[in-house]
Amino acid sequence: MDKAGISNVGAAERGRTLLFDFDNTLYTNRRMAEHQADVLYRFVAEKTGLSLEEAKRSFDERLRKFAQQFGVPVSRSWGIPIWYASGAEWNAYRDEHIAARGYLERDERLIAVFERLRSQRFDLAVASNSPQKFIREALGLLGIEAKVVSSDLVHAFKPSIDFFWLATHHLEVQPEACISIGDRDCDISPANALGIRGIRVRSVQDVYHIDDYIQRLDKSGETNLLL
């Protein structure tokens, strides 16, 4: 398998591995998002010596200018290993300070979706910038199972194309056999560069109907379905 992707994937094999982003894709929870943001800002404050409020303003402005310069929004977590610390240090900090318990709970609708997808012979994986420890804890609370490809496992972060290349290598699948599903452009555009199709969702509410959207994508013949 080369980095340019594989062109000889049969129609029956296309999109049989689903690469789900995690935050605001397999769950949507305002309190969980606020908890993660608070941990990030505290980390920036510790690394820079700024107050918490100053760290928040400084980081958000830096992220805003980057998105404006390059024309794409990026996740907060991606900015940390670029500007403040190594990915390993950032993931270790998150392992220590971020927990899903108390925020997430069993999701019967999502469980039913995953059961339907498995009955249709889809392979299911989480491909996320979040660290593996948090993802596995959260999956258990949600009541679902999936393979996990995390930033601390592949030592790369979205929106890097390398993240998706390493994810497919880790899962031992061809890029063109995958569909990337997530709520941001960084879940879709870098994956497209390897021949991975995409479905951009708005929240977990769209994931509850993801099998219908996969059918729409297949019938359209397009590379992406943007909801």
| Alpha carbons 214 and 119: distance in angstroms, whole number | 14
Q: Is residue 9 part of a domain?
A: no
> Which pLDDT score, from 0 to 100, does residue 75 have?
74
Pair (157, 196) in one structural domain:
yes
Q: Is residue 119 part of a domain?
A: yes
Q: What is the DSSP string of 47-101?
A: HH---HHHHHHHHHHHHHHHHHHHTS---HHHHHHHHTS-HHHHHHHHHHH---T
Pair (204, 116) in one structural domain:
yes
Element (H, E) at 24: none
Pair (121, 175) in one structural domain:
yes
Of 97, 129, 152, the residue that ends a domain is 97
44-52 contacts, C-beta under 8 A, 24 or more apart: 44/80, 44/84, 47/84, 47/85, 48/84
What pTM was estimated for this model as a whole? 0.89
Pair (53, 75) in one structural domain:
yes
Which domain CATH number covers 215? 3.40.50.1000
Q: Is residue 8 part of a domain?
A: no
Range of the domain at 64: 30-97
Pair (74, 168) in one structural domain:
no
Of 72, 97, 122, the residue that ends a domain is 97
* Assigned token pair, 100: 């899903």
> Which pLDDT score, from 0 to 100, does residue 83 have?
87
Pair (71, 132) in one structural domain:
no
Q: Is residue 74 part of a domain?
A: yes
Pair (120, 147) in one structural domain:
yes
Q: Is residue 22 part of a domain?
A: yes
**CB neighbours (10 Å) of residue 121?**
8
Pair (177, 222) in one structural domain:
yes
Pair (112, 148) in one structural domain:
yes
> Which pLDDT score, from 0 to 100, does residue 9 have?
46
Q: Is residue 130 part of a domain?
A: yes
Pair (192, 109) in one structural domain:
yes
Q: Is residue 11 part of a domain?
A: no
Pair (149, 207) in one structural domain:
yes
Count how many domains the chain has.
2
Of 97, 115, 148, the residue that ends a domain is 97
Q: Which residues of the chain are under the pLDDT cut of 50?
A: 1-12
| Alpha carbons 188 and 135: distance in angstroms, whole number | 20
> Which pLDDT score, from 0 to 100, does residue 13 have?
58
